[in-house]
Amino acid sequence: MTEKTVLNATHRALGARMVDFGGWDMPINYGSQIEEHHAVRRDAGMFDVSHMTVVDLHGAKAKDFLRHLLANSVDKLKVHGKALYSCMLNEQGGVIDDLIVYFLGDEFYRLVVNAATRAKDLEWIEKQAAAFGVEVRERPEFAMIAVQGPNARAKVLGLLHEVDRARIEKLGKFAAAAAQGPHGMPLFVARTGYTGEDGFEILVPQEHAVALWEALAAAGVAPAGLGARDTLRLEAGMNLYGQDMDEGVSPWEANLGWTIALDEGRDFIGRAALEKQKAAGVPRVMVGLVLDEKGVLRHGQTVLTANGAGEILSGSFAPTLEKAVAFARIPAGEPGEIRVDIRGRELPVRLVKYPFVRDGKPCEGI
Amino acid sequence: MSEIPGDLKFNKSHEWARVEDGGLVRVGISDHAQGQLGDLVYVELPEIGASVTAGNAAAVVESVKAASDIYSPVSGEVVEVNEALNDKPETINEDAYGEGWIFAVRISDRAELDQLLDAGAYEELIENEDH
């Protein structure tokens, strides 16, 4: 049974091409994926991401629970509203999911996890939460709209109640706050995203989602599909769960070492396995590749290096760069000249530090 | 969606063939196919002089989303390729039945044309696909 977000009819009325995405009927584009990509890089675009799962955690030991559950440390969250990106690991150090956690009160945290992993995430979180007496409450009554691009914040601010504008304008990166939207609708506005551009991700009660979408459209925000979201996040150097990492991959092997907090005395799930792997030497690394020749790097293609074969994880034509880029997982060590097998032809690729694009511009060396 | 020109014949795999003077058959993909693929970013053309076989892969089109083989509707020798697609692959999105042609074949067996769908039959095929 395919699930539908509350904006499904709105997408269809806009002529969206719909696809199945992790069991959800979602818009892949509204005509041209490349134009939608450029709209986000150059102005402002919006994505229906209501399929994502919102989970609230309540309890006196909520913080202790998250210090155990997550590989990044919620001790970093000092101010209410502040957010943190983290992996949730299994005992083997494999990634169950990546998520954002918001600090909303001393006994109240909010998680936003992936749609495709919803069932296993909830099962895992509930199982771990029992020992801490933490209540795990899914919030399916929220829709979620991501508004992204250099002009995204200004366009959202214009729709907020006057009393909230100055406060939301001052909201720092990776922080969230409540605000009133059009007709007084209650919003949870987070300055986060998955595109490499500034903007907000907005939680809105389902019954107000269509009105918010229409108000944003009237303010000149272009609807953008999940196709553009994928090329935007790839250019921005952001991992996609299930493609770039999964339960058989540690964060060290997915270039997510920066999200691991090996702080003194914190016994999080997977820590022992991570420390063991680090001490023994991480066998595989995730790298960025650029193809300067014509062609497109794609998931599953074989990558040939001096140390053996690897594979393309996420790969696509990058509209901002007008050439193909990819993440690949290859054997650790000096890789030498790297080639990618595209339909039997071995094409040379360049190993680069990513992100490939930030704030609308190609990064140095890309 | 644009109207399907009545002079075209189709593969079930969404390539079109237009019979021109002197046994020349021009080949492209349907408007329906370009819509399904989305924005095209790269076209791998066959070489002039290459021999192609009806139903076998002769070219590749890549959209942002996926790579797709283009199956030749007829057998013969490739005598023209649309070099303009090297710089502007999006021409296929904009004009699938005209400027977006991919290659032209000197047909070796005209009887193969009878195996292809006419415009009406193709229209029926894609309508059934959509429902």
Least CB–CB distance from A316: residue in B35, B64, B86: B64
Torsion of CA B85, B88, B94, B95, to 10 degrees: -30
Residue A267 lies in a domain: no
Residues A33 and A173 in one domain: yes
pLDDT tens figures, A121-167: 999 999 999 999 999 999 999 999 999 999 999 999 999 999 999 99
How many domains does the structure of chain A reveal? Answer: 2
CA A280 to chain centre: 30
pLDDT tens figures, A224-263: 999 999 999 999 999 999 999 999 999 999 999 999 999 9
Nearest CA-CA partner of A188 in A198, A199, A175, A176: A176
Res. B131 pLDDT band, cuts 50 70 90: low
Q: Given the DSSP bridges, would you call strands B24-29 and A308-318 parallel, antiparallel or unpaired? A: unpaired
Residue A239's alpha-carbon distances to A86, A190, A234, A337, in angstroms, are 12, 20, 7, 25
Reduced to 3 states (helix: H, G, I; strand: E, B; else coil), residue A41 is helix
Residue A293 lies in a domain: yes
The answer to whether residue A186 scores a pLDDT higher than 70 is yes
Residues A180 and A329 in one domain: no
Residues A213 and A361 in one domain: no
pLDDT of residue A47: 98
Residue A133 lies in a domain: no
The answer to whether residue A363 scores a pLDDT higher than 60 is yes
Residue A170 lies in a domain: yes
pLDDT of residue A342: 95
Residues A305 and A363 in one domain: yes
Residues A145 and A226 in one domain: yes
Q: How far is B2 from chain A (nearest CA, A)?
A: 14
Q: Does B2 touch chain A (CB under 8 A)?
A: no
Tell if the CB–CB gap between A28 and B38 is shorter than 8 Å: yes
Distance of alpha carbon A325 from alpha carbon A327, whole angstroms: 7
- Domains along chain B? 9-119 (2.40.50.100)
Kindly state the average pLDDT of the residues A198-219: 98
Residue A45 lies in a domain: yes
Tell if the CB–CB gap between B62 and A295 is shorter than 8 Å: yes
Reduced to 3 states (helix: H, G, I; strand: E, B; else coil), residue A150 is coil
pLDDT tens figures, B48-83: 999 999 999 999 999 998 899 999 999 999 999 999
Residue A201 lies in a domain: yes
Q: Could you tell me the CATH number of the domain that includes residue A167? A: 3.30.1360.120
pLDDT tens figures, A311-322: 999 999 999 999
Complex ipTM > 0.90 = no
Residue A321: count other Cβ atoms within 10 Å of its Cβ.
15
pLDDT of residue A79: 97
pLDDT tens figures, B21-33: 989 999 999 999 9
pLDDT of residue B65: 86
Residue A346's alpha-carbon distances to A308, A338, B64, in angstroms, are 14, 9, 20
Tell if the CB–CB gap between B64 and A317 is shorter than 8 Å: yes
Encoded tokens for A200: 């907000």
The answer to whether residue A22 scores a pLDDT higher than 90 is no
Nearest CA-CA partner of A157 in A214, A207, A208, A219: A219
Element housing A31 (H / E):
none
Tell if the CB–CB gap between B86 and A17 is shorter than 8 Å: no
Q: How far is A181 from chain B (nearest CA, A)?
A: 35
Kindly tell me the number of DSSP H helices and DSSP E strands found in chain A.
9, 21
Torsion of CA A343, A349, A351, A355, to 10 degrees: -80
Q: How far is A204 from chain B (nearest CA, A)?
A: 30
Residue B60 DSSP symbol:
E
pLDDT of residue A359: 86
**Contact assessment for residue A296 and residue A315, using Cβ atoms and an 8 Å cutoff:** yes
Kindly state the average pLDDT of the residues A25-47: 97
Residue A239 lies in a domain: no
Q: Could you tell me the CATH number of the domain that includes residue A290? A: 2.40.30.110
Average pLDDT value over all residues in chain A: 97
pLDDT of residue B3: 81
For residue A353, give its domain range.
283-366
pLDDT of residue A240: 98
Residue A283: count other Cβ atoms within 10 Å of its Cβ.
12
Least CB–CB distance from A33: residue in B39, B44, B62: B39
Residues A229 and A293 in one domain: no
pLDDT of residue A187: 98
Residues A41 and A147 in one domain: yes
Residue A357 lies in a domain: yes
Q: How far is A32 from chain B (nearest CA, A)?
A: 6
Q: In a mutagenesis test of the B interface, which of A20, A232, A296, A321 is the best target, namely the one with the most B β-carbons within 10 Å? A: A296
pLDDT of residue B130: 67
High-pLDDT (> 70) share of chain A, %: 100
**Sign of the C-alpha dihedral computed for residues B48, B49, B52 and B57 taken in this order:** negative
Tell if the CB–CB gap between A343 and B60 is shorter than 8 Å: yes
